[in-house]
Chains A and B, each alone.
Chain A
Amino acid sequence: MDSWRKNPLVFWVFAVPPAVWLLLFFLTPLALIWVFSFGEKSGLIDVHITWTADNYMRALDPLYLQIFLKSFWFAGITTAICLVVGFVLAIAITFAPGRHRPILLLLVMLPFWTNLLIRTYALIAILRTKGSVNAALEQFWGWGNGLLALLGVEHLQLLGDRFEPLHLLYNNFAVVAGLVYVHLPFMVLPLYAALDRMDRSYIEASLDLGASQLRTFRSVVIPLAAPGIVSGVIITFVPALGSFLTPDLLGGTDSQMIANVIERQFKSANDWPFGAALSFVLMYITFFAIALRSVWSARRDAREALA
């Protein structure tokens, strides 16, 4: 690596365009809403900067605190489901025959690259009252009744007198299903990367020495895959926490997440200072989660250096 002083002209040619772009079109917008977050709303979209902390205080209001908690809860459940399912998938891919591995990986990655809106829309189409899931259930209901008729007990109406479609959309269930649907690939990739690097002779040694599969999994595989688990949890949890589209399209009135509140402040409620404060709270949480991971890996490295 060269010192920038060795060839300052070349250095500036490479440094100025990205630095100026970031400053103008990324840092300035962020700085703007940071300043707004200490302002007061005056007029329709005018903001009067008074350096008040009221907007942050308002974020602690039980109403909004509850939405933050709900967002954490949704993101947490999503991460937990993705971790369990993702771990099985990552194991399946890692231990699959070499020729299948790239195909399986591609199959996991492709949905990740397809449009988020289209995938959410596709979920609506199958979850709605007259959607595919309910159509399939109705079919099963019909078959079940046919079976009962064969047994001669159809008059008892054991399955109800008519099919009641399940309400799978516009509720908390739909939001979590949508979040898992969107974030599963985020979890699988880091887990796979960690498992792929793992030296399999450790597992063999553990099994040879008489540990059960479960014990081996707990005491060998999980500690070795820990960096992947931590990365996977962070990169699933962080975007899930800030999700806007999934709760907006799949959720009901009581399944709004923090991003939906932010959107409302900027679009319909026109309370930019409060929306800005909420955005920064969300960003601080994100930074905190990422910092947590750095601290964790630094500790791990230190422990390994000592060992």
Chain B
Amino acid sequence: MKGARRSHGPLDYSRRLWVRITLWLSFAFLYAPIAILVIYSFNDSRRNIVWRGFTLKYYERAWNNDSLIQAFANSLTIAFFSTLFSVLLGMLTAVLLWRFRFPAKAPFEGTVSLPIIIPEICMGVAMMAFFTRIGWPVDLPWPLNLGAITIAHISFSFPFVAMVVRARLARFNREFEEAARDLGASEWQAFRDVLLPYMKPGLIAGALLAFTLSLDDFVITFFTAGPETVTFPVKVYSMVRFSVTPEVNAASTVLLLITLVLTTTAILLQNRSGRD
């Protein structure tokens, strides 16, 4: 230990051996299962975990699995509409909380953060009870039959969008908006030409977040989905319950890739919007 201490300063904790070992072991723990899942989606063997050569046949099989593709299409459709509404509602909430003083503001703020806080299972069963009880029609044509799931997704996504947009607004210099108003811009013009462009990076980051949240959600969807409205995670769940198959690996790899691209973009955007 004495010899090691000479090579780095007392505060260079990140260079200490045991810190490094913990760091690499943790990353191995976090990434190895996912890496193995991806690698075996290309393995030309059904059961065996020994590498038997590269193949794309499980991707082909997943692609030809109609119910899997239908579930994927459902997930993307739900995520699209959920994102659209979440961004709109999230933006309104963020501007509302940032700009106005109003009675019952604290309870309102608390209620908006509730969907983020409460356990997913509670929200899931509440949504299930709600849609069953109000007699939400179940036999609508596609994509209207995805309505219940989409509504549930909007309810838990828009508070996250509001949070992201509000963080961006906190750094806004209100004098710009006031200047625009002084120069004769209407309320709407000032919003459209000054506030909206400023919020844009936050809105994009919020949209990517809402899209990922919707695409990834299992628990709440599990309780609102019917036999005709299976989403990708719900489909994978039923396949996993049945057995571990390379098709699931292939389909999961595709979904991982999508979320990876989306979140990296969101994080980069947020870092950039934090800098200027």
Task: Please tell me which one of the listed residues A10, A95, A126 contacts residue B11 in the complex, with CB atoms under 8 A apart.
Answer: A95
Binds A, one of B63-71, B96-104, B138-146, B196-204: B96-104
Q: Is the CB of B29 within 8 A of A181?
A: yes
In angstroms, how far is the closest chain A Cβ from the Cβ of B45? 12
Query: Does B219 have its Cβ within 8 Å of any Cβ on chain A?
Result: yes
Query: Does B252 have its Cβ within 8 Å of any Cβ on chain A?
Result: yes
Query: Does B7 have its Cβ within 8 Å of any Cβ on chain A?
Result: no
Q: Mark A241-272, 1 if CB is under 8 A from B, else 0.
A: 11011000100000000010011001000001
Q: Is the CB of B256 within 8 A of A125?
A: no
Nearest B residue to A241, CB-CB: B119
Q: Is the CB of B158 within 8 A of A266?
A: no
Query: Does B44 have its Cβ within 8 Å of any Cβ on chain A?
Result: no
Nearest B residue to A21, CB-CB: B89
Q: Is the CB of B14 within 8 A of A14?
A: no
For the complex, what is the distance from the CA of A32 to the CA of B95, rounded to whole Å?
30
Most chain B Cβ neighbours within 10 Å, of A93, A113, A124, A279: A113
A282-B49 contact, Cβ under 8 Å, with A119-B34, A245-B218: no
Nearest B residue to A28, CB-CB: B130
For the complex, what is the distance from the CA of A119 to the CA of B260, rounded to whole Å?
13
Q: Which residues of B contact A76 (CB under 8 A)?
A: none
B202-256 contacts to A (CB < 8 Å): 212, 215-216, 218-219, 223, 233, 236-237, 240-241, 244, 248-249, 252, 255-256
Query: Does B121 have its Cβ within 8 Å of any Cβ on chain A?
Result: yes
Q: Is the CB of A15 within 8 A of B22?
A: no
Q: Is the CB of A1 within 8 A of B101?
A: yes
Query: Does B112 have its Cβ within 8 Å of any Cβ on chain A?
Result: yes
Q: How many residues of chain B get a CB closer than 8 Å to chain A's CBs?
A: 86
Q: Is the CB of B92 within 8 A of A17?
A: yes
Q: Mark B110-136, 1 if CB is under 8 A from A, else 0.
A: 011011011111110111111011000
For the complex, what is the distance from the CA of A132 to the CA of B249, rounded to whole Å?
15
Query: Does A109 have its Cβ within 8 Å of any Cβ on chain B?
Result: yes
A94-131 contacts to B (CB < 8 Å): 94-97, 102, 104, 106-111, 113-126, 128, 130-131
Query: Does A290 have its Cβ within 8 Å of any Cβ on chain B?
Result: yes
Q: How many residues of chain A get a CB closer than 8 Å to chain B's CBs?
A: 91
A125-B37 contact, Cβ under 8 Å, with A29-B129, A279-B126: yes
**Interface contacts beyond A123-B33, A244-B121, A286-B118: sample of 8 additional A-B pairs, CB < 8 Å, sorted by A:** A18-B96, A95-B14, A106-B264, A111-B34, A118-B37, A121-B240, A122-B252, A276-B125
Task: Enumerate 15 A-B pairs (CB-CB under 8 Å) in ascending A order.
Answer: A2-B100, A2-B101, A18-B112, A27-B111, A28-B130, A91-B19, A95-B11, A115-B233, A117-B216, A121-B37, A121-B236, A125-B244, A242-B120, A266-B223, A283-B122
Give chain B's interface residues, CB within 8 Å of chain A: 10-14, 18-20, 22-23, 26-27, 29-34, 36-37, 40, 47, 49-50, 88-89, 92-93, 95-96, 98-103, 108, 111-112, 114-115, 117-123, 125-130, 132-133, 151-152, 154-155, 158, 162, 187, 212, 215-216, 218-219, 223, 233, 236-237, 240-241, 244, 248-249, 252, 255-256, 259-260, 263-264, 267, 271
- The list of the 8 closest CB pairs from A to B, nearest first, reads A242-B119, A29-B130, A122-B33, A29-B126, A4-B102, A259-B121, A14-B96, A113-B263
Give chain A's interface residues, CB within 8 Å of chain B: 1-4, 7, 10-11, 13-15, 17-19, 21-22, 25-30, 32-33, 36, 45, 85, 88-89, 91-97, 102, 104, 106-111, 113-126, 128, 130-132, 135, 181, 184-185, 200, 203-204, 207, 213, 238-239, 241-242, 244-245, 249, 259, 262-263, 266, 272, 275-276, 279-280, 282-283, 286-287, 290
